[in-house]
Structure 1
Amino acid sequence: MNRRIWSILLALGAFLLTLTNVALAADPFARATLATKGTIYAGQQVEVDVDVFAPNYFLSPPQFPLFDLPGAVVTMPDDRGLNLNETIDGVDFSGIRKTYVITPQAAGDYTLPPVDIPFGYAAVPGETTQGRVKMPTLRLTVTAVPGGADGKAGITAAKVTITQTFDRDPASLRAGDALVRTVTVQADGLAAMMIPEPSFGVPAGVQVYVHDPVLSEDRSDRGVFLGGVRRDTATYVFAKAGGYTLPAITLQWFDPSLGKAETAEAPLAKVSVAAAPADATALAPPSPPPEKAPFDWQWWVGAGLAMAALALLIHLAAAVAGRLQAWFEEARMRKAQSEPTAFRRVDEGCRSGDARRFEAAIDAWSRKTGNVPLAQWLDRFADPETKTAFAKHQQSLYRGQQDTAQPPNLVPLSAGLSRARNRWLEQSGDDDPVPANELPDLNPALGAELPSNR
């Protein structure tokens, strides 16, 4: 008898332990992975992938924050997140990945801070559960650049090239002419803001004016970041004739794949400046100075009054034009940000058949009108067919690709949502309701055309 009781208790305990493990496995989690392989050197850009997973599917995308890391520059490209799907212990998880780019400025150890990453997910299908995970702990060990001073970063990149151009032939100048020198530095795998300013040498007797740099990115046809480009321009002014040498511009950089320092160079330039042509009237006798005309007070007074009247007229016209422009801009913004315009985008998303475009539009409309979470609004105003069609849309959008072979038809959903909106407008008593507690955009950097990754 006792043996039978113990067997039952052990089986019950194993069952409870299984339920506990399933419950724990169903909790959201995050992980961080160092995407950059090999030895990390000071000044090198390092990519860190941060993945956030939640059971079922997301109802609001994770908000990946930028964080401070002492001694390093942290950026996050504007590229949209990567959708992931995993099954762990029989539980389906949806994931979103964002990549941080970290540039350590000196050798040492760096650890990611435990910042919060909030999001919303469907713990129970159709209901929003607020989730929050911590940035996983990840330690980076950075090595000093060989031959560098105190382990500080210079330029660490896969490849650095320097090119230069001149606006004219340096050997065809005359005294008083100007020569424009443009130097372009391209660094593979390095952000443009991390490329240092080149040093323009100045020969004796020459003035140089350095212009503001132009920074840009080099990307592939698919938009993948390849490297940074810095373009600097300097103008040399030669006041006297003679021969001049513009020094070469060199840049030391370190190749982490080869583990050695390299040098990129824009070569020196020889400049030949001829004497300015003599003034053709220099040999003629000086002409007598012209006689001064008498000062015409009446003309100057009339001209002054005319200028004052013209200035007043311009001022009044500018004021009126500014007010008209402000009024038209305000009217346009009111229309663009109105509830009917937001719902029209929802209808357009349904008719386009693009599930992600529709998801972005219905999410923007719900936050615009304060109907968050949207499931509560649907439960109150939508008919059963509309709620069922919307649930199928969300399941096809956030489940794995195997579940989206035949996406739901969104065209019938347009009529159902329009009927639900009419009921809501009748109860609210306002044709364009704007709630006082309007929520901010979940991901404004992606714009209205890119859907939120839920």
Structure 2
Amino acid sequence: MMRRLLALMCLCFACSIAYADDAPRTMLRAHLEPSGPIVAGSAVKLVVDALTTTWFTAAPDWPLFDLHDAFVTLPDDSAQNMNEIIDGVRWFGVTRAYRIVPRTSGTFDVPAFSITLHPGGIDTPVTLQTPALQFSATLPPGAEGMTSFFPAPNLTATQRVEPQNGDIEVGGTLTRSVTQRADATESMLIAPVQFGDIDGLRRYAKPPATRNISEDRTGLVAGERTDTVTYVVNRRGRYTLPPLDIEWWNTTTHQRETVHLPAIHLTAHAAHEKPLWEIPADALAGAARHTVIFLDARDIAYACIMLALIAAGVWFYPRIRMWLARGSQWWAAERKKRAEGEFAAWRALRRAVNSGAMQRVVPALYRWMDANPRFTHPARIDAIGRDENPALHALAEAVESHYEHAQAESKSVRVKLHRWTQWTRSRRARGPALPPLNEG
């Protein structure tokens, strides 16, 4: 009797273990590349792996975090699918790499942050935290006394001044623009140019203009940043815009270098004001001094009409501007709605399916389901039932099969999606326009 009871207890324990193993498990891993100290201004990668023992019904939520004295970005092209065997269990997931660029030397503590996962097999999402990590950044020998440490393989700077002749009237404006180009460096890492104040000139800084120059084969080629400042002349005189010295660290020669931009000289003279109606000097001589000037009634009427039109324009201008602004906002909202709507998402899905690459099909399918009001949010693959388009249902089965039987190399998609035909289904659902005949 005791043997039977012991065997029954062992059987129940084994069944509970088997049931527990069927439940999906999730895990987050994070590490830094490189793991050792880096030079300030260079990039370190925070690689995060989101893993599960089943599959993901939706993409993980990847948040951005702040790090003092460092730039943190999450490139769009850093996502990669992965599968790995850990302790005899196969795990599936996705890995992404955050890019961290410290702007100065010191120790940087990467905080722990939460990521929400959507594993298949359960209805509720799972929220996990990444481990807190730490790295240090140092300055190379010879760069300790630099005001702003900026490393780059090569840096060039040019300046442009308008007007170019340096001759300007009081009340006029002078614009000075400085463009920096750094090879193999993102534009957001280029340090801003410091323009000083000048007595007699009012300074107005404009937002910087940045752009990254890249090529298909080589990737990032260079980054450009343009800083622009406008000076308004308050009084006449001679002015000098001081020279600019831009310090940077040459990563090729490992030396500190300086780009020098020369000073700008300008002369401001009093503005010559010409009266609207100027009386010739000879007309005021002799008998013309006692001439009586008569105004025509028609001229007075024209002047009154002009004043009325000016007053009406001043009164209507804010309202017309408000109407134009509303119209512009409406038009921008409509364009954004169409660009992010269901039709655009369907076209992107068709292109992804035609390419045959599963890594393009999965995000395009989720984007279309998120834009489709018939699906819940966040969207799930199993929401596509058999009553849907047969090709769409086949595509959903292909995605589920991809995650269930993922290997080192993704299989191509062999599904053909047709053009968007939602309007035909809606017309058929409406039924006939005429009511049925009264046969009684």
2:396 matched residue in structure 1: 390
Q: Partner of 1:302: helix, strand, or coil?
A: helix
Return closer, same or farther for 1:92/1:196 CA change in 2, 3 Å cut-off. same
2:122 equivalent to 1:88? no
Tell me whether 1:73 sits opposite 2:70 in the alignment: yes
- Asked whether the equivalents of residues 26 and 91 of structure 1 are also in contact (C-alpha less than 8 Å), the reply is no
| 1:139 Cα deviation after fit | 1.2
Counterparts in 2 of 1:136 and 1:255: CA distance versus 1, 3 Å: farther
Q: Residue type matched to 2:157 in 1?
A: T
The 8 Å contact of residues 381 and 400 in structure 2, kept in 1 or not, is answered as no
Distance between the aligned counterparts of 1:326 and 1:247, measured in 2?
43
Q: Secondary structure at the match of 1:402?
A: coil
In the alignment, structure 1 residue 304 sits paired with structure 2 residue 292:
no
When the two chains are superposed, the root-mean-square deviation of aligned CA atoms in Å is 5.5
User: 1:143: which partner in 2?
Assistant: 138
> How far is the alpha carbon of 1:262 from its aligned partner?
0.7
Residue number in structure 2 paired with 1:448:
none
Aligned match of 1:27:
25
8 A Cα contact 1:40 1:143, kept in partner = yes
Aligned match of 2:44: 46
The aligned residue for residue 287 of structure 1 is 281
Q: Following the alignment from structure 1 to structure 2, what is the Cα–Cα distance between the partners of residues 350 and 174?
A: 58
Indicate the SS of the match to 1:298: helix
Out of 360, 366, 369, the residue aligned to residue 366 of structure 1 is 369
The Cα of 1:45 is off from its aligned counterpart by 4.3
Q: Using a 3 Å threshold, how does the CA distance of structure 1 residues 23 and 185 change in structure 2: closer, same or farther?
A: farther
Paired residue for 1:130, among 122, 125, 130?
Answer: 125
Check if 1:402 corresponds to 2:409.
yes
Q: Is the 8 A contact 1:396 1:408 kept in 2?
A: no
Runs of 5+ in structure 2 lacking a partner? 271-279, 432-440
Cα 1:274–1:133 change in 2 (3 A) is closer
Give the letter aligned to residue 59 of structure 2.
P
Within a 5 Å distance, the mapping from 1:411-426 to structure 2 comes to 411=416
2:147 aligned with 1:158, yes or no?
no
Distance of aligned partners of 1:37 and 1:254 in 2 relative to their CA distance in 1, 3 Å threshold: farther
| Distance in structure 2 (CA, Å) of the matches to 1:274 and 1:251 | 28
Compared CA separation, residues 198 and 390, structure 1 to 2 (3 A) = closer
Q: What is the correspondence of 1:330-349 to structure 2 with a 5 Å cutoff?
A: 341=343, 345=347, 348=350
Structure 1 unaligned segments of length 5 or more: list them.
Answer: 277-285, 431-454
Please report how far the alpha carbon of residue 117 of structure 1 lies from its aligned counterpart in structure 2 after TM superposition. 0.9
The yes-or-no answer on 1:58 pairing with 2:56 is: yes
Q: Contact 1:145 / 1:152 at 8 angstroms: preserved in 2?
A: no
1:251 to 207, 221, 246: 246
Give CA deviations for 1:406-426 in whole Å, capped at 9, x if unaligned.
x34312x769x989x969x97
Deviation of the 1:221 alpha carbon = 0.8
Q: Which residue of 1 aligns with 2:108?
A: 110
CA distance in 2 between partners of 1:418 and 1:162 (Å): 55
Secondary structure of the residue aligned to 2:281 is: coil
Q: TM-score, normalised by structure 2?
A: 0.63
Displacement after TM superposition at 1:198 (Å):
2.6
Distance 1:318 1:169 in 2: 31
Quote the residue 2:192 is aligned against: 197
Question: Once the 2 structures are TM-superposed, how far is the Cα of residue 103 of structure 1 from its aligned partner?
Answer: 3.7
Conserved? CA contact 1:217–1:225, under 8 Å: no
Structure with larger RCO (C-alpha < 8 A, sep 6+)? 1
The 1:346/1:253 distance shift into structure 2, 3 A limit, reads closer
Using the TM superposition, give the Cα deviation of residue 332 of structure 1 relative to its aligned residue in structure 2, in angstroms.
7.3
- Equivalent pairs, count: 389
